[in-house]
Chains A and B, each alone.
Chain A
Amino acid sequence: MNRFINIGMLKAAWPICFGYIPLGLACGILAQKVGVSPVELAVMSIMVFAGSGQFIALAMIGSGSGIISIVLTIMIVNLRHIFYGTMLNKYIAERGMLYKLLFAQEIVDETSAVNMTMFQREDEEWTTDQAIAQSYTSHMAWITATVMGDILGEAVYIDTALVSYALVAMFIGLWSFHFKNSWLVLAGVGSGVLALVLSPWLTNMLNVVVATLVVSTLAAAVTGEEEKE
């Protein structure tokens, strides 16, 4: 037990790992199907580390898409990660550049949602060391699970719909912890509805990016007006 690996960190990381293991296995099974070897997938899981991004990339590799169109699609799919660095920055602002650049590689929906919730908790301390350790632990679970899935292939049966829902349930839990006043609930639900409205036109998670930008800006403007009055 040290400042990185301790009970508090593992308590925060396990729900992500719990969700990543079956989802990673499913991702690895897909990789084997489209002819991506375990070593190649390990490199992809280490360097790209993106759940939905890797599923999309593997499907595109399987359907014979070109490199440029795959890279551009992944760029769009992962664009939303920019919000996570933006909202986590103030919590790690004191740390050096090396920490920040290493922390950045581990930014995905799950690690960021957990870190954000933990940094905001008042009853428990959450250090920047625990935050980066939680992220690397989750990433390690993802790498291991995807490679295992690629090795085992069809030998394991994974109900992808069910296992993906474990992470959705985790997000719903983390999301509800943010509901500290009615503006926050309204913004969350509003952004969700807007994302659905935009979904026919904005694919590859762009609906999430636009809905977040529009709703958080509106909410900040409206609540700012209230404060002045």
Chain B
Amino acid sequence: MSTAELYLCIFGMFVVSYIPRALPFVVLGNRPMPKFFERWLTYVPTSVFGALIFSSVFLDSNGVNFGLDNISMLASVPVLIVAAIKKSLPYSIITGLAAYGMLQYLMG
């Protein structure tokens, strides 16, 4: 890819990435929303982050992996526990990194 082509590619990626980012603000604006939409919105964050987390924890290059060799899956158990008890982001991250690193080392 030449430099010009690369910049064209980056510009293309910018356009297609920016549209879904800005569209909701432009379309929804500052008007009252229907009741169903409001209720739908309360479930969007938990759903989208649930889907993202499950995808990064359970999916590897071969597909879904519930096996005991799945380090992300094993490390997520202490993270969930610490997150639930401590309600703290720093503790969750440190627990996750420590658990992941330890499991990586143990499973060589």
Contact = CB atoms under 8 A, between A and B. Distances in A.
A166 B96 contact: yes
Interface of B is mostly: helix
A157 interface: no
A168 interface: yes
Contact of A162 (B51, B57, B84, B100): B100
Contacts of A75: 16-17
Given A85-B25, A86-B28, A191 B16 contact: no
A197 B9 CA distance: 32
A190 B48 CA distance: 11
B63 to A, nearest CB: 6
Of listed B21, B42, B45, residue having the most chain A CB within 10 A: B45
B53 A215 contact: no
A212 interface: yes
A171 B52 contact: yes
Contact of A43 (B7, B44, B97): B7
12 contacts: A72-B16, A78-B21, A81-B21, A82-B24, A100-B26, A105-B18, A165-B72, A175-B50, A175-B53, A191-B51, A192-B53, A215-B47
